[in-house]
Amino acid sequence: MKAMLLKKFAPIDQSPLELVELPSPEPGPEDILLRIKVCGVCHTDLHTVEGELPDVKLPIIPGHQVVGAVEKRGKNASRFKEGERVGVAWLYSSCSQCGYCSREKENLCESARFTGYHVNGGYSEYIVVPEKFAYSIPVVFSDEEASPLLCGGIIGYRALRLSGIKPGQRLGLYGFGASAHVAIQVAVYWGCEVYVFTRSEEHRKLAENLGAVWTGTSKDDPPTKMDSSIIFAPAGELVLDALKVLDKGGTVALAGIYMTPIPEMDYVEYLYHERTLRSVANATRQDGEELLKIAAEIPIKTTIQTFPLEEANKALRSLKDGKINGAAVLKISD
């Protein structure tokens, strides 16, 4: 099978992903083998390739927003039929037995494995996944439309929940890439007022088209305080910007797996009055199932830019340079 393989960490400008031929994987008893149709391109992939994340297994095939068709099933796998369309997300497996798993926090499981990080991911023609961790894809979405929902959508949905935002309240979104352009549609569906902070004029226009009541940069003062905010961009200085315009009792949720250092802050100015600052780590299968259900109800419209598999380096460069309006998706097979 063809795959884009990372053998050594390097800046994306050096095109570290190599197009190679590898044997197709074989499913274990509880697994399914998928022939991949598309795979979304995520900031986590960029952080992986550039060596900004710990404990990455090398060599590795990145990618964790996979849509494909079941090609083969393990002897004990019966949840999906051959030919059925399914998705694979960031959470590849968890132990299901530890304290975290038993408290419905499998996203924190010490034995959790993640797609394209601990195990080979979707920048390839085939992938094996435990059938319990695969998702049915709603028929309302094409392959390309569904792909960004499987990471950006899921983590955005979890971030919305952990931000504590309620219908009718004011929500700030910092950064407006693949995850934020899904999250805003859920928030608007819930009746929230959404304020978007981003440097990109093109991203601000997209946010306005998707229902933002105000857009600006993180240095601009919005017309009112936020009840909750989510930071999607991996820039630590945004934490202070978000806290500065957060109302008393509000929450800022940090949705990224990586962030540059957060500057020192004055406690009274930024955090006092019961403001909460919290991280969002991975997501559970329940988050995924709930997001796909609500996405089909809305239905969410994903803005995508497609690239062939062999242009994965180019797609990641465009992502790093802020040139992707919405989400980037690798088109691998028909």
- CA dist 196 and 214 (Å) reads 6
Percent of the chain with pLDDT over 90: 99
Q: What confidence tens digit (pLDDT) does each residue in 128-187 have?
A: 999 999 999 999 999 999 999 999 999 999 999 999 999 999 999 999 999 999 999 999
∠ CA 188-155-185, nearest 5°, is: 15
Q: Contact 67/36 with Cβ under 8 angstroms? A: yes
Cα→Cα distances 291→86, 186, 226, 254, Å: 15, 9, 24, 19
Give one DSSP letter per residue of 161-216, joined into a string: HHHT--TTSEEEEES-SHHHHHHHHHHHHTT-EEEEE-S-HHHHHHHHHTT-SEEE
Taking 90 as the threshold, does the pLDDT of residue 72 lie above it? yes
The reported pTM is 0.94
Helices then strands (H, E): number in the chain? 10, 17
Taking 90 as the threshold, does the pLDDT of residue 57 lie above it? no
Q: All domains of the chain, ordered by start, with CATH? A: 2-151+301-331 (3.90.180.10), 153-279 (3.40.50.720)
Taking 90 as the threshold, does the pLDDT of residue 298 lie above it? yes
Nearest to 181 by CA among 66, 325, 47: 325
Given this model, what pLDDT does residue 334 score? Answer: 84
Q: What confidence tens digit (pLDDT) does each residue in 80-93 have?
A: 999 999 999 999 99
